[in-house]
Amino acid sequence: MHRKKSLSAAFSAALLSLTLLTGCGMLQSVPDSTSAVSDGSSATMLTDGADGTDGQTNAAGRTDISGTAEQTAEGTEASGSGAGAVTGTAGNGSGGGNSGGDGGAVTKRTNRTAGNGGTAGQQTVTESVTTAETKRKTPDDILSGMTLEQKVAQMMLVGITDAKTAQEAAADGVGALCMFALPYKNKTKAQVREMHAAIQKKAAVPMIISADEEGGKINRLSIYKNLRSAPFPTGRELFEAGGWTAVISGTKEKSALMRDLGLNVNLAPVCDVPLDSSNYIYDRCFSLDASDTAEYIGKVVTQMNKDGLGSVLKHFPGYGGSVDTHKNTGYDTRDYSAFTDGDFLPFKAGIAAGADAVMVSHNIVKCKDAVNPASLSPVWHEILRNELGFDGVIISDDLGMDAVTNFTGGKNPAVAAVQAGNDLVAFADYKASVPAIVKAVNEGTIPQSQIDASVLRILRWKQKLGLL
């Protein structure tokens, strides 16, 4: 009799202790900086760094149970179990019940009470859990939090000749940079990486940092021996030296160098098909044959996508035999069939291969618009969207070129470029362009919905590049 009373008293004390521990909330929760999973697997949580970069915290799944795991006495059986960073007091059945229930704190956002009883008894388990999970912002999330001025700034592709201007543009919220050769002069690879990192650190939204690394005459990086032993050759030179194997190998090497140095977009490849070898654009082109050029473009864009480097097809609708629009106004008088049967083929191949962007030339192509340069022509932008089915980012060629400034009489062409349908405006004077475009939106000249659509395309491109 005395032994039974002692057992009963001890069991009552144990129950009281369990009740007090549970009732006082002495259950550990997982700190907000980690993410725990109950199945014992590993979890990864991404957090946005203060400087616009992404950080990572890994929480390895584990079983970590503390408290009373099992209580049995006089026909009462209870057991508790947990997994994946679980801490707490196990379930306890009483009063002749057949079994107790699972217990412990399992990481969840909400606190809840769950009951699971035996035949003649009930058990109550309190789960007090916090799962902290910071999600990566989507392009739609970023867009919804932007002012009109911030959106328009994202539409600027600014030409850069020095690191200081690049950092200033980044701090001003510009969406993209076109790096010319001068910032890379006399720099080592490490210094170039540091320069690009410092630029990105200034940006609230990570930036597209691009350069024209076409090969041959147009290179910005590989002309410096500190960055490559010799300038990259053209696609035609690679093919003549080693066929498609050399073209693919050269594309991979170029992508690797640019990515390693902190660039994420190459303003290439060139889709133009010149009429003959005397044409201005010839030295930058793969072939005089549109079908051969289309095959080249398809292979290069496919490889660039594999390498994670953004691509830009240029110069729509096709340069043909036009003059240098950096210095002159170019006219193209060919029939539209010359484009549908020839010049469009490389662009179609690049689009089919997943090209990210298309750059539009300043040539006045009379068969569809006898007045406006293609870069400022809504007609040619509609053809690119509707006939060629391109839904990516459309970029104007540099609006500071003479073909445009002559056409506009020296006036800022940025508003006309957006009205035409460009998503990214390639123009160095963003400080004048942004307020001009904002004013046009506020006055109803440019629909707000058009701005939103353009910025969303740009942000989705950044997401594809791993910047968001």
The whole-number mean pLDDT for each consecutive block of 10 residues of the chain, a chain of 468 residues, reads 44 40 35 35 32 35 34 36 36 38 36 40 40 69 98 98 97 98 98 98 98 98 98 98 98 98 98 96 97 98 98 97 85 97 98 98 96 97 98 96 85 93 93 96 97 98 97
CATH code reported for the domain at 139-464: 3.20.20.300
CB within 8 Å of 323: residues ≥ 6 apart = 280, 329, 330
The structure's pTM equals 0.72
Unique residue bearing structure tokens 């089915």: 389
Rounded to whole angstroms, how far apart are CA atoms 9 and 24?
22
Q: In the structure encoding, which two tokens stand for residue 417, read together?
A: 């470029």
Instruction: Give me the pLDDT at residue 91, please.
Output: 39
Rounded to whole angstroms, how far apart are CA atoms 166 and 180?
11
- Is 397 a known active-site residue? yes
Rounded to whole angstroms, how far apart are CA atoms 348 and 19?
72
Distance of CA 216 to the CA centre of its chain: 29
- Is 429 a known active-site residue? no
In the set 48, 64, 292, 326, the catalytic residue is: 326
Containing H/E element for 115? strand 111-115
In the set 212, 272, 356, 397, the catalytic residue is: 397
Report domain extents, the chain. Answer: 26-128, 139-464
**For 244-326, where are the E strands, in sequence order?**
265-266, 310-316
